[in-house]
């Protein structure tokens, strides 16, 4: 017993020593601290930096702080795909807490251009956001230290912060990714620590922890608002409009630390006020350099990172009257790792993030008046800018696809853009827009800069090198018919979320056939629902007109035909299935009592073909792009509700390909597939199955001679080959700029569709925007009937592309072709039709490939 007591006492002393060391390393000069507030170490049982903290333990600690302190409250603002909680810890002086509703109302006056409320005596609102990339873990650990400091410190400095600021700590923007990475790092952690960069701890397996459940990069999702993490945060954001927002990240191990200013915005005429990226950035930079210099940390600014794309956590708030701040810390990628400049430890990476968290608060409090003036001026200038432009608004809509229009309206409302019903028919830009099918967005509104972001397109830029995309006109993502309005227009009622709920229709029973239009975005989902319910479904490969309830109606390519007498289920059961699917997806189903058409094919035509349910397999792991694979998985899971089998390439030899009729190959080099495996895929396609490839997977299929198609490559003439002149001498420093011009980092172009081809069924307009962010230049098919989508003669819509890439490669190339292989076919996308889960316009091409591809016949010539 005496030995046991001695052991426990010794252990307690060691814990105290460890805790004291941790407090000295991280918390020096921040005390004294309230002993009634548990430190992170006391709560977790280990020191910060000694272990990667799971998200549930992070939330539990913040819950504890809110429980024991009158400085803190906690709220849940959302849930991840994997049901982890998204939380905000609000920290301020107790007197502010008791009056927070009133303070919030006064604060929100800053975003009202018509308000004259005095803002001089209200606290500044600061949102500290951490860990949007799950495998950048120092950020959430720093959040714990920051929360503890603000709740427990009794220093005059911290008390001043709390009296003059309301601080919102969002500890983990991507809990699913964080826990995936934390589990990896903790599982492979050695004792003693292994610092060798080749150790498993420092090298996560595919898909790694950067992304969320569906392998989306959430730091690109603020604008697109696809995932629940982003939608929850956006709804929270627009209820508070913080003045300052931080975005903490990690970067390569052999780097240092980055804080803003960023490199110059690549847009020629940025819509963000210049004061944001000059005066405000420069003011805050003085605080960051002062505090990092004190602890001897090295850093850099004005390089590498830019805020051109408006969908980052470090750029979106800039378009909401706030100051968004990016921080990047060299990562230890584990607990300790060897670098060229010595060892980098997890604790070291956390300390820099913690220090700049406090710097941000200090800078915000000391520049409160400037930040509030900027926020108020931002929204006032939005109105004045809108009134100075010739564009009074935008009209948009689609007569044939109400659900795609609804989803676009939902995106506008998510960003608090005001949308109105169209009051009367409008013709603009050579297009006709009809009431009930179209909407208008006035430019004269506080969110004018977001209206610009959604609708405006650009072709001139000040730079050719981008950290991300150069085009983001979201209206084109949705293939939305739209036009600017340059004169005053009538608008109807303002649209709310309730106005865009899916419609329900009266389904009339029939004993002959039901007809479902293929033009609606969710028609493939409805088809999948019918297949899952055992319903036999046909597709019309030619248009027709036929008598249905209410008169003769026109039906286009791809119309689903459900014959009642050919079913294995009863007429009553069939009706209930159809009614359920119609209500679920808001798609009207028509009833026909005869198969005889008024024009076009009859319902018994050989051009009405029975659709085989797809059984899809997608290769993952290895060098496969987790982003693209995740986009496919997300599309099929969340919108189509169709199961897809995700098979690691290492399991190739275990797979019986005959269990599947559709194979998906997204971008990868596929070096794991040797000649025998490639032959196995080829034989499977020849047996009548469908292989779908995108981007570099398309290049792989061509380069490995799986198909007899070609890529467009730069070829030198015989005279050029004979010349052996030395290349033109250029400055070394210009190499990144010149090489950047050769890349297509993300731009929008127009293709021409063959509307009669099954892969284009459902489209009404042959001109379609597509997104390109690769240099896979696909030559039109050698078969005259197989080039489904080709770039037009004047394809540019939005974004940067060099003249050489435009004229030499893009204009002559195809975006989508089909190549015959035995009795099967290979459907090849040069582009990514599912980019970031947002390309509603080209999703249809991809879904047609899955659901109709089995019936694509490549005619001989």
Taking only the tens place, the pLDDT of each residue in 354-402 is 999 999 999 999 999 999 999 999 999 999 999 999 999 999 999 999 9
The residue behind tokens 């090198």 is: 465
Residue in 165, 325, 310 with CA at minimum distance from that of residue 244: 325
In the chain, pLDDT over 70 holds for what percent of residues?
94
pLDDT tens-digit profile of 15-66?
444 455 556 899 988 999 999 999 999 999 999 999 999 999 999 999 999 9
Average pLDDT taken over every residue of the chain: 93
724 pLDDT tier (thresholds 50, 70, 90): low
The residue behind tokens 């601290």 is: 33
Statement: residue 307 has pLDDT above 90: no
Q: What are phi and psi of 795, to 5 degrees?
A: -80, -15
495 pLDDT tier (thresholds 50, 70, 90): very high
User: In sequence order, which residues have a C-beta less than 8 Å from that of residue 428 and are 6 or more positions away?
Assistant: 395, 483, 484, 485
Position 668 scores a pLDDT of 97
7 pLDDT tier (thresholds 50, 70, 90): very low
858 pLDDT tier (thresholds 50, 70, 90): confident
Q: How far apart are CA 162 and CA 146, in angstroms?
A: 13
DSSP string, 184-206: HHHHT--SSPP--TTSGGGSPPT
Statement: residue 10 has pLDDT above 70: no
Predicted TM-score (pTM) of this structure? 0.94
Position 718 scores a pLDDT of 59
Q: Helical H runs in 115-227?
A: 138-152, 156-164, 175-187, 221-224
Position 20 scores a pLDDT of 52
Is residue 849 within a helix (H) or strand (E), and if so which, with residue range? helix 840-851
50 and 201 in contact (C-beta within 8 Å)? no
Residue 490 tokens, joined: 């009538």
Burial class (CB in 10 A: 0-12, 13-18, 19+), 325: buried
Statement: residue 134 has pLDDT above 90: yes
pLDDT tens-digit profile of 250-265?
999 999 999 999 887 7
Position 459 scores a pLDDT of 81
What value does the mean pLDDT take over residues 487-491?
90
Position 304 scores a pLDDT of 85
Statement: residue 730 has pLDDT above 60: yes
Position 470 scores a pLDDT of 87
Position 9 scores a pLDDT of 41
First to last CA, the chain: 93
DSSP string, 49-94: TSSPPPHHHHHHHHHHHHHH-TTEEEEEEEE-TT--EEEEEEE--H
Position 722 scores a pLDDT of 58
Position 115 scores a pLDDT of 92
């Amino acid at each position: 017993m005496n030995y046991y007591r001695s052991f426990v006492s010794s252990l307690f002393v060691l814990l105290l020593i460890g805790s004291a060391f941790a407090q000295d390393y991280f918390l020096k000069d921040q005390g004294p601290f309230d002993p009634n507030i548990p430190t992170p170490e006391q709560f977790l049982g280990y020191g910060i930096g000694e272990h990667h903290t799971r998200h549930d333990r992070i939330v539990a600690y913040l819950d504890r702080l809110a429980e024991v302190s009158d400085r803190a409250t906690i709220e849940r603002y959302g849930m991840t795909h994997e049901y982890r909680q998204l939380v905000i810890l609000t920290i301020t002086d107790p007197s502010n807490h008791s009056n927070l509703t009133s303070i919030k109302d006064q604060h929100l006056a800053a975003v009202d251009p018509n308000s004259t409320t005095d803002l001089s005596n209200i606290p500044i609102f600061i949102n500290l956001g951490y860990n949007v990339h799950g495998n950048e873990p120092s950020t959430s650990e720093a959040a714990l230290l920051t929360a503890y400091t603000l709740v427990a410190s009794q220093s005059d400095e911290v008390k001043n912060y709390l009296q003059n600021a309301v601080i919102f700590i969002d500890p983990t923007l991507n809990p699913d990714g964080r826990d995936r990475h934390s589990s990896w790092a903790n599982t492979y952690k050695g004792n003693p620590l292994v610092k060798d960069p080749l150790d498993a701890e420092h090298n996560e397996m595919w898909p790694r922890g950067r992304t969320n459940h569906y392998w989306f990069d959430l730091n690109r999702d603020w604008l697109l608002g696809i995932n629940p993490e982003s939608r929850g945060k956006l709804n929270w954001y627009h209820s508070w409009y913080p003045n300052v927002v931080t975005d903490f990240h990690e970067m390569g191990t052999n780097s240092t630390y980055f804080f803003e200013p960023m490199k110059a915005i690549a847009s020629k005429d940025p819509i963000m006020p210049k004061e944001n990226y000059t005066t405000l950035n420069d003011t805050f930079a003085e605080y960051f350099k002062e505090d990092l210099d004190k602890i001897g940390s090295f850093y850099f600014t004005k390089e590498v990172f830019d805020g051109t794309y408006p969908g980052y956590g470090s750029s979106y708030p800039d378009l909401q009257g706030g100051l968004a701040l990016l921080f990047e810390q060299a990562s230890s990628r584990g607990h300790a790792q060897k670098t060229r400049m010595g060892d980098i430890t997890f604790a070291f990476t956390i300390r820099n993030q913690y220090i700049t968290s406090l710097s941000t608060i200090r800078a915000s409090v000391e520049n409160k008046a400037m930040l509030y003036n900027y926020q108020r001026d931002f929204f006032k200038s939005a109105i004045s800018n809108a009134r100075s432009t010739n564009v009074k608004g935008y009209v948009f809509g689609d007569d044939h696809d109400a659900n795609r229009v609804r989803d676009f309206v939902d995106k506008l409302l998510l960003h608090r853009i005001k949308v109105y019903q169209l009051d009367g028919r409008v013709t603009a830009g050579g297009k006709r827009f009809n009431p009930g099918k179209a909407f208008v967005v006035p430019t004269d509104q506080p969110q004018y800069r977001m209206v610009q972001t959604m609708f405006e397109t650009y072709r001139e830029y000040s730079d050719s090198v981008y950290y991300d995309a150069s085009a983001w006109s979201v209206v084109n993502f949705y293939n939305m018919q739209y036009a600017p309005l340059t004169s005053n227009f009538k608008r109807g009622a303002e649209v709310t979320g309730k106005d865009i709920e899916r419609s329900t229709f009266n389904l009339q029973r029939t004993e002959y056939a039901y007809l479902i239009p293929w033009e609606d975005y969710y028609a493939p989902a409805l088809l999948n629902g019918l297949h899952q319910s055992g319903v036999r479904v046909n597709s019309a490969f030619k248009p027709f007109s036929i008598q249905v309830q209410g008169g003769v109606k026109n039906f286009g390519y791809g119309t689903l035909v459900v014959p009642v007498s050919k079913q294995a289920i009863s007429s009553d059961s069939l009706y209930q299935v159809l009614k359920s699917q119609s209500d679920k997806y808001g798609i009207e189903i028509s009833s026909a009592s005869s198969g005889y058409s008024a024009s076009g094919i009859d319902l018994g035509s050989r051009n009405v073909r029975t659709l085989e349910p797809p059984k899809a397999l997608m290769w993952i792991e290895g060098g496969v792009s987790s982003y693209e694979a995740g986009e496919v998985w997300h599309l099929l899971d969340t919108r189509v509700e169709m199961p897809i089998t995700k098979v690691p390439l290492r399991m190739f030899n275990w797979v019986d390909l005959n269990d599947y009729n559709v194979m998906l190959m997204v971008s990868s080099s596929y070096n794991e597939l040797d000649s025998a495996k490639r032959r196995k895929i080829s034989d499977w396609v020849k047996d009548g199955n469908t292989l779908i490839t995108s981007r570099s997977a398309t290049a792989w299929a061509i380069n490995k001679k799986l198909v007899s198609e070609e890529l467009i490559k730069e070829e030198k003439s015989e005279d050029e080959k004979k010349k052996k002149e030395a290349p033109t001498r250029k400055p070394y420093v210009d190499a990144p700029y010149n090489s950047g011009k050769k890349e297509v980092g993300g731009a929008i172009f127009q293709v021409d569709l063959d509307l009669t081809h099954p892969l284009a069924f459902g489209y009404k307009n042959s001109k379609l925007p597509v997104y390109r962010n690769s240099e896979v230049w696909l030559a039109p098919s050698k078969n005259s009937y197989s080039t489904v989508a080709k770039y037009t003669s004047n394809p540019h819509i939005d974004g940067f592309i060099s003249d050489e890439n435009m004229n030499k490669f893009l204009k002559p190339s195809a975006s989508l072709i089909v190549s015959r292989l035995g009795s099967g076919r290979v459907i090849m996308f040069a582009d990514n039709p599912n980019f970031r889960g947002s390309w509603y316009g080209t999703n249809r091409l991809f879904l047609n490939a899955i659901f109709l591809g089995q019936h694509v016949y490549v005619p001989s010539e």
